[in-house]
Structure 1
Amino acid sequence: MFLKEVEPYIVIAQQEWKLNLGSNARNLAVEFSKTRPVMYVNPAIDIKTSLLSVNTAAGRKRLHIALGLYPNTIQVADNLWVHTPSSVNISINWLKQVTLYNMLNKSNAKRFFKSLKKAIDELGWQTNKCVVFNDSQMFTGLYTKEYLQPLLNFYYIRDNLIEHPYFKFHGSRIEPKTIQHADSVFANSSYLAEYARKHHSLSIDIGQGCELEIYDAKKHYTLPDQYKSIPHPRIGYIGFLTGERLDIALLEELAMKKPEWHFVFIGPEEIMFQQSRLHAMKNVHFLGAKKPEDLPAYMQHLDVCLNPQLINPLTVGNYPRKIDEYLAMGKPTVATDTPAMQMFLPHVHLAKGVSGYISAIEAALNEQSAAGASEAISFAKAHTWQACVEKIYQTQKQLLHV
């Protein structure tokens, strides 16, 4: 099915489509494709990455596509195509000389958009009738209007990337310019929308979509075998365990001060967690990574769910998708008090510091009312990709005066 009556969307993504990680850009592309043709654009490969991966079959194929030796636009679903740029970027992030960096960045962007424009033409679309939705590709995105000239150019922020070491040096000066060049900016939290509003007045918090179909609070899930040796109360976190985003020191203090509570961690660990004191504590249990379809059972049999976020410039504006998952299962939830978490009140307990967390967990352990759980479930279930996309379409209509 091909829909000619609406504007095609070009989603310029940070992540490869094939990773299938449920990234925001991929989720939004799928939602866009329900009403219009969509092209999801993989990031261009760079010379450094090519050299590091050339000895693998996937790396060689990726390089061959970049060199134009294989087809680089494939249809993956109704109204949805994936384009892999037939270009290889010069690796330039290490350059500190701004003039030289700017020149090479513009050269990278020119090759990227040349490949993209060719793909658009091959599908029979008209570039000036396409809407670009740029998933924080700030460096390439600076030249969208110059090299592509789309109908509209949208920029999307779902992480405070300029605080990440890779993006910080050049991104802190380039992202504001990319934002200014956009027709509108969208963010998945009020904090990030406020940041964008400093550079563009039409910066809108569209919220966050979540895939909550598998989380059914009314269903009874069998107790996982790993839980049978873990007493109540079980206080748990489910997700990637990284010291860059989670407060390990806080968790260590909580586990020491409350030995009668059992702390359960479910998910893959990076090195900072592996080396933490948590592994030596008898009331701390690391259960490893699980299949997505198994997570509701592990979640249901926790007494309290946690999001012990570390507050730093990288995380302070993040929308924590796991909170929606916890609430969709009707679980009492305690999380670090950040600006992005305010929208979840009164359905969560917010806390700061060890004493604040102890008080919040104690409150969460009190029996939750059926009405309170029902309201939390309804609140979480309202956070859909459809709701996000409807806000984008409303802005598009406003800009096009239709």
Structure 2
Amino acid sequence: MSRRPEAFILIAQQEWELNLGSNARNLAVELSKTQPVLYVNPAMDIKSIFKQIKTAHGRKRLKLALGFGENTVKVSDALWVHTPQSLSHSINWLKNIAIYNFLNERNGKGFFDSIKKAVKKLGWTKENCTVFNDSQMFTGLFTKKYFQPLLSFYYIRDNLTEHPYFKFHGSRVEPQTIALADAIFANSAYLADCARSHNKLSLDIGQGCETDMYEADFAYEEPADLANIAHPRIGYVGFLTGERLDIDLLEQVAIANPNWQIVLIGPEEIMFQESRLHAIKNVHFLGSKKPNQLPSYIHHLDVCVNPQLINALTIGNYPRKIDEYLAMGKPTVATDTPAMQMFLPHVELAIGADEYKKAIEKALLPQIPEKRNAAISCAKGHTWEACVEQIYAVQRQLLQTK
């Protein structure tokens, strides 16, 4: 083998500093246990300057984009974070394909020029680095042209081309980016199947979940804002967004079953804020909670639900909250989507209010200890280590042919 894997360059959708919790961040940490990793923040675009310039974070990002400050910072023994020294044109609104393509390539060149500087500074050889692109489809189109890595991987964890921001250009660009990559990794079989029409080496590597803080048999104290809500409690924990969750279904279930208390835990976007759910007596909104508070809330629910809408945006989505529910040993009901099949027989699947009612009634029955333990083991088995092992296996396979 003439070229050896030296480091991973992980191109991320989310900034490291925001620490929102993302697959890219988790994968970077896991990869860094065996290889050096450079986590690359998204480039700042011109539109963001005007939106963020009044904030300390925005001013810091702008300075780094202009080359003032330290763009590459070490955050652990084998992990660095790079903020690109480049400003991208804000072009997603452009409908002229030729102009868009020209400016998108300029964005891509500036982005990879900055990464090349960081790699050189770290003493690595870019031709011995593997690029792992977390769905940055637009810049990813130019990975091989402007960076020439050892290998180029593309990661799909959501059907982003169905999102309004990505739909117009993404539906055209992402298939090209997928075709150019050496391998595609996805966190569900559905997304891997979709990618396979553009790149034969497309694999479902599953999903990691940080289940260490979810302990089913720990005696969690009951939160004060939950204590005065009667049982049975049917709960959802996560971001409350009408793009992904079925508000009408929740309304129907709540109205048809007034003795059930529907407990919704998490921040609301506008569709939930304006929904009729707020007028239903047995629906309770408890607001946002810190991550370390969630186990205590889940522990004191009777049944956990994931009432997803079935649409192009959600159909292949891996629901991480299912792992959290199961790790806490909770009976779980979810909308029947292709991504949910892997959780059988540990969950009850349903479509529509009538099926949800029957599934919740079944979930409210006393748990069988053996089945509960099997569900916990299922969730605990979904680790980032297992995902990374599959990435390394493909890397080894491809390098044997180089």
Partner residue, 1:222: 221
1:47 is aligned to 2:46: yes
1:37-69 superposed Cα distances (whole Å, 9 cap, x missing partner): 000000000111112211222211111100001
Whole-Å separation in 1 of the counterparts to 2:222 and 2:66: 52
Normalising to structure 1: TM-score of the pair?
Answer: 0.98
Q: Is the 8 A contact 2:37 2:80 kept in 1?
A: yes
CA distance in 1, matches of 2:287, 2:92: 35
1:215-241 deviations in whole A, cap 9, x for unaligned? 001111122222222111100001111
Structure 1: where are the runs of 5+ without partners? none
- Aligned residue in 2 for 1:10: 9
1:361 and 1:208 mapped to 2: Cα distance? 26
- Kindly indicate whether the alpha-carbon contact (under 8 Å) linking 2:5 and 2:129 is maintained by their aligned counterparts in 1: no
Where do 1:141-152 residues align within 5 Å?
Answer: 141-152=140-151
Q: Which moved more, 1:220-229 or 1:101-110?
A: 220-229
Instruction: Return the offset for 1:293.
Output: 1.3
Indicate the SS of the match to 1:335: strand
Equivalent in the alignment of 1:94: 93
The residue that corresponds to 2:394 in the other structure is 395
Q: Secondary structure at the match of 1:314?
A: coil
1:124 is matched with 123
Residues 109-120 of structure 1: pairs in structure 2 closer than 5 A: 109-120=108-119
Distance 2:170 2:360 in 1: 39
Match for 2:258: what amino acid? P
Counterpart position of 1:368:
367
Three-state SS of the structure 2 residue aligned to 1:139 is: helix
Matched, 1:161 2:160: yes
> What corresponds to 2:75 in structure 1?
76
Residues 163, 313 of structure 2: 8 Å contact kept = yes
For residue 261 of structure 2, what is the aligned residue in structure 1? 262
In structure 1, the residue matched to 2:185 is 186
Amino acid at match of 1:41: V
Greater CA drift, 49-58 or 65-74: 49-58
| Deviations 1:140-170, CA, capped at 9 Å, x for gaps | 0000000000000000000000000010000
* Segment drifting more, 216-225 vs 380-389: 216-225
Give aligned-pair identity as a percent: 67
Q: CA deviation at 1:354?
A: 0.5
Please give the alpha-carbon distance, in whole angstroms, between the structure 2 residues aligned to 1:289 and 1:55: 26
The equivalent residue for 1:172 is 171
Deviations 1:145-204 (A, max 9, x none): 000000000000000000000100000011000000000000000010000001000000
Aligned to 1:107: 106
| Residue matched to 1:238 | 237
Matches within 5 A, 1:295-334: 295-334=294-333
**Hey, what's the Cα distance between the residues in 2 that align with 1:239 and 1:53?**
26
* Distance in 2 between residues matched to 1:229 and 1:17, nearest whole Å: 38
Q: 1:173 is paired with a residue of what secondary structure?
A: helix
Instruction: Find the aligned partners of 1:287 and 1:51 in 2 and give their Cα distance.
Output: 34
| AA at the equivalent of 2:292 | E
CA contact (8 A) 2:5 2:150 kept: no
Q: CA deviation at 1:7?
A: 2.2
2:247 corresponds to 1:253: no
- 3-state SS of 2:213 partner: coil
Q: Which residue does 1:33 correspond to in 2?
A: 32
- 2: CA distance, partners of 1:221 / 1:261: 22
Answer yes or no: is 1:58 the counterpart of 2:57: yes
Q: Which amino acid aligns with 1:140?
A: T
Provide structure 2 residue ranges, at least 5 long, that are not aligned to the other structure: none
How far off is 1:92 after superposition?
0.6
What SS does the corresponding residue of 2:207 show, helix, strand or coil?
Answer: coil
Q: Shift in Å at residue 29 of structure 1?
A: 0.3
Partner of 1:390, secondary structure, is helix
Residues of 2 paired with 1:381 and 1:350: CA distance?
Answer: 20
Asked whether the equivalents of residues 184 and 199 of structure 2 are also in contact (C-alpha less than 8 Å), the reply is yes
Between the aligned partners of 2:302 and 2:354, the Cα distance in structure 1 is: 19
SS of structure 2 residue aligned to 1:354 = helix
Deviation at 1:6, TM superposition (A): 4.9
Larger mean CA deviation between 317-326 and 50-59 belongs to 50-59
Q: What residue is the counterpart of 1:284 in the other structure? A: 283
8 Å contact 2:6–2:124 — kept in the other structure? no
Offset of residue 116 of structure 1: 0.6
Q: Partners of 1:181 and 1:293 in 2: how far apart?
A: 41
CA RMSD of aligned residues (A): 1.1
Question: Residues of 1 paired with 2:107 and 2:227: CA distance?
Answer: 55
Give the match for residue 346 of structure 1.
Answer: 345
SS of the aligned residue for 2:298 comes to helix
Deviations 1:306-347 (A, max 9, x none): 000011111111000000000000100000000000110000
Structure 1 residue ranges, 4+ long, deviating more than 4 angstroms after superposition = none
Q: Quote the Cα distance in structure 2 between the aligned partners of 1:340 and 1:281.
A: 31
Query: What is the identity, as a one-letter code, of the residue corresponding to 1:56?
Result: T
